[in-house]
Chain A
Amino acid sequence: MNIDFSTALPYIPILIKAAGFTILLTLTSQFFGTVLGFFLALGRTSRPGWLRGAVWFYVWVFRGTPMLLHLFFIYYAAPSFGLTLDAIPAAIIAMSLSSCAYNCEIIRSGLQAVHHGQVEAARAVGMSYPRIIRRIVLPQAVRIVIPPYMSNFITHTKNSSLASVVTVPEIMLTAQTIANSTYRVIEILTLAGLLYLFLTSCLTWLQLWMERRTTYERRGLTARRRRQLGLEAA
């Protein structure tokens, strides 16, 4: 077996461009998946039974079927319903639908971890539901949710490789194409792996940073907040 990275090196710019597509797919679908997932989680914890049931049904379907199937469905089956999409929009939609099912459950676990008594105390002070969510529930839920949310984010990043089956030229599809034409399978796959590792390392670092930022009790009030409140420095 001869391993020769020198023949693979010229393909690095192409692979980096492919990583751009991976980032595009992952970030946009994670963004929509988070925003939608948040509202789904609110629905899942709300009072009306039909709403809770509808969200439950959605999660049941989209968490219970593979993302690969969602991708195929949106890209290959949707045209039969008169909806033809390019590969990238189709991949973003399919990945968002899948992502928000998982994020709904992750965010719900955070919302429900906030003790009901705290919500009651906020109601007793006269706060409305949106304010209670924003000021009492979310700030605490965020911290609880960071580890599972980021784990899912990392999984989601790697799963973006599935978009290769609907012809999005992301890292895996590009790597395969290069490998097929150069026969440098080991070298190209190693480079692809390193790119994924770099992307997920950024997320791991982001997680550490977010966890540090939310340990306010140990660090106390910031100097700026102290000034706002008119408290002397500690």
Chain B
Amino acid sequence: MAPPMIGVENLAKSFGAVRALDGVSLSVAPGEVVCVIGPSGSGKSTLLRCINFLEEPTEGVVRVGGRRVGFVETGAQVRRMGGRELAGLRADIGMVFQLFYLWPHLTALENVMLGLTEVRGLSTRAAADRAKTLMHKVGLADKMAAFPEHLSGGQRQRVAIARALAMEPKVMLFDEPTSALDPELVGEVLQVMEQVARDGMTMMVATHEMGFARRVADRVIFMDHGRIVESGPPDEIFDRPREERTQRFLDKILS
């Protein structure tokens, strides 16, 4: 078996007295699409945010592409990464947020370009060319010069996906990418994500879109109270869950 693209061992995260993650272990193979489902507050977002160190784990180890996240290991010595090392690591991990977080003072195209010029060191022209290819890919060729405030939620989220993909990351993390969208705009975003999955990207998706999870995921993880309750292929989780808690959650969300 190929070494995992994402490896999480015994991950825990506390916010004060609240234990958001309570001993999570999992591994994601290259090209695998994993959907994380569960009630709000179950730790889905915190899990994703620990993977690119936006949240610093209280305990446990995260590796992406074999590299320890947030720390440098030399022999037996472990030290915390500096800002620059952390930035370099994050450049290889794409992240899409629930609330898009496009930069409002830049056009859609410039949003996609900025990481390329600032982090990858591309020239303006080379960055613009690559960003245009991605704007085509997410179906927004006609919106390149538009500012975020003139885009719909679905369009904004597609720009955010293009912005993350432009960096050519090893993995993509999606933190409830459609939860803030009007229902009629969800489809266009899921369609783009499905395309990204088909292209072989390693993906972790925290989502409430059970149809998407069933269709696209190789594996579904159900979380509750900061723990993985069960995980397995989508048809197993959705049709024959072993745990009663999973069943109760699915009953609630699908009814």
Residues of A at the B interface (CB closer than 8 Å) are: 115, 117-118, 120-129, 131, 135-136, 139-140, 143, 216-217, 220-221, 226, 228-231, 234
> Do residues B105 and A127 form an inter-chain contact, with CB atoms below 8 A?
no
Give every chain A residue within 8 A of B125 (Cβ-Cβ): 228, 230
> Do residues B149 and A124 form an inter-chain contact, with CB atoms below 8 A?
no
Name the distance in Å between B140's Cβ and chain A's nearest Cβ: 13
Chain B CB within 10 A, most for which of A118, A216, A228, A234: A118
Which of B40-84 touch A at CB < 8 Å? 52, 54, 83-84
Give every chain A residue within 8 A of B128 (Cβ-Cβ): 228-230
**Among the listed stretches B2-10, B89-97, B203-211, B220-228, which one makes contact with chain A, having 4 or more residues with CB under 8 Å of it?**
B89-97
Name the distance in Å between B207's Cβ and chain A's nearest Cβ: 18
> Do residues A125 and B145 form an inter-chain contact, with CB atoms below 8 A?
no
Docked complex Cα distance between A143 and B110 (Å): 19
When C-beta atoms are compared, the residue in chain A nearest to B84 turns out to be A128
Name the distance in Å between A181's Cβ and chain B's nearest Cβ: 55
Q: Is the interface of A mostly helix, strand, loop or mixed?
A: helix
Name the distance in Å between A233's Cβ and chain B's nearest Cβ: 10
Given contacts A217-B147, A231-B144, contact A123 B90 (CB under 8 A): yes
> Do residues B145 and A221 form an inter-chain contact, with CB atoms below 8 A?
yes
When C-beta atoms are compared, the residue in chain B nearest to A116 turns out to be B101
Given contacts A118-B101, A135-B114, A229-B109, contact A217 B149 (CB under 8 A): yes
Residues of B at the A interface (CB closer than 8 Å) are: 52, 54, 83-84, 87-95, 97, 99, 101-105, 107, 109-110, 113-115, 118-119, 124-125, 128-129, 132, 144-145, 147, 149-150, 160, 163-164, 167
> Do residues B101 and A127 form an inter-chain contact, with CB atoms below 8 A?
no
Docked complex Cα distance between A221 and B108 (Å): 11
A-B contacts, 8 listed (Cβ < 8 Å):
A118-B101, A121-B97, A125-B119, A140-B105, A216-B147, A217-B104, A220-B145, A231-B109
Docked complex Cα distance between A220 and B102 (Å): 17
> Do residues A120 and B54 form an inter-chain contact, with CB atoms below 8 A?
yes
> Do residues A124 and B90 form an inter-chain contact, with CB atoms below 8 A?
yes
Docked complex Cα distance between A228 and B160 (Å): 22
> Do residues B164 and A125 form an inter-chain contact, with CB atoms below 8 A?
yes
> Do residues B105 and A139 form an inter-chain contact, with CB atoms below 8 A?
yes
Docked complex Cα distance between A217 and B119 (Å): 25
Give every chain B residue within 8 A of A128 (Cβ-Cβ): 83-84, 87
> Do residues A121 and B167 form an inter-chain contact, with CB atoms below 8 A?
no
> Do residues A124 and B95 form an inter-chain contact, with CB atoms below 8 A?
yes
Give every chain A residue within 8 A of B90 (Cβ-Cβ): 123-126
Chain B CB within 10 A, most for which of A121, A122, A123: A121
Name the distance in Å between A60's Cβ and chain B's nearest Cβ: 29
Name the distance in Å between B250's Cβ and chain A's nearest Cβ: 30
> Do residues B101 and A228 form an inter-chain contact, with CB atoms below 8 A?
no
Name the distance in Å between B170's Cβ and chain A's nearest Cβ: 12
Given contacts A126-B90, A228-B128, contact A234 B145 (CB under 8 A): yes
Candidates B95, B103, B107; contact of A118 at CB < 8 Å: B103
Give every chain B residue within 8 A of A115 (Cβ-Cβ): 101
When C-beta atoms are compared, the residue in chain B nearest to A221 turns out to be B145
Give every chain B residue within 8 A of A135 (Cβ-Cβ): 114, 118
Given contacts A123-B90, A127-B119, contact A216 B144 (CB under 8 A): no
> Do residues B105 and A121 form an inter-chain contact, with CB atoms below 8 A?
no
Name the distance in Å between A182's Cβ and chain B's nearest Cβ: 54
Docked complex Cα distance between A229 and B124 (Å): 7
Top 9 closest pairs, chain A to chain B, by CB: A126-B91, A121-B101, A125-B115, A124-B95, A117-B101, A126-B119, A126-B90, A217-B147, A229-B128
> Do residues B83 and A129 form an inter-chain contact, with CB atoms below 8 A?
yes
Give every chain B residue within 8 A of A126 (Cβ-Cβ): 87-92, 115, 119, 167
Name the distance in Å between B31's Cβ and chain A's nearest Cβ: 21
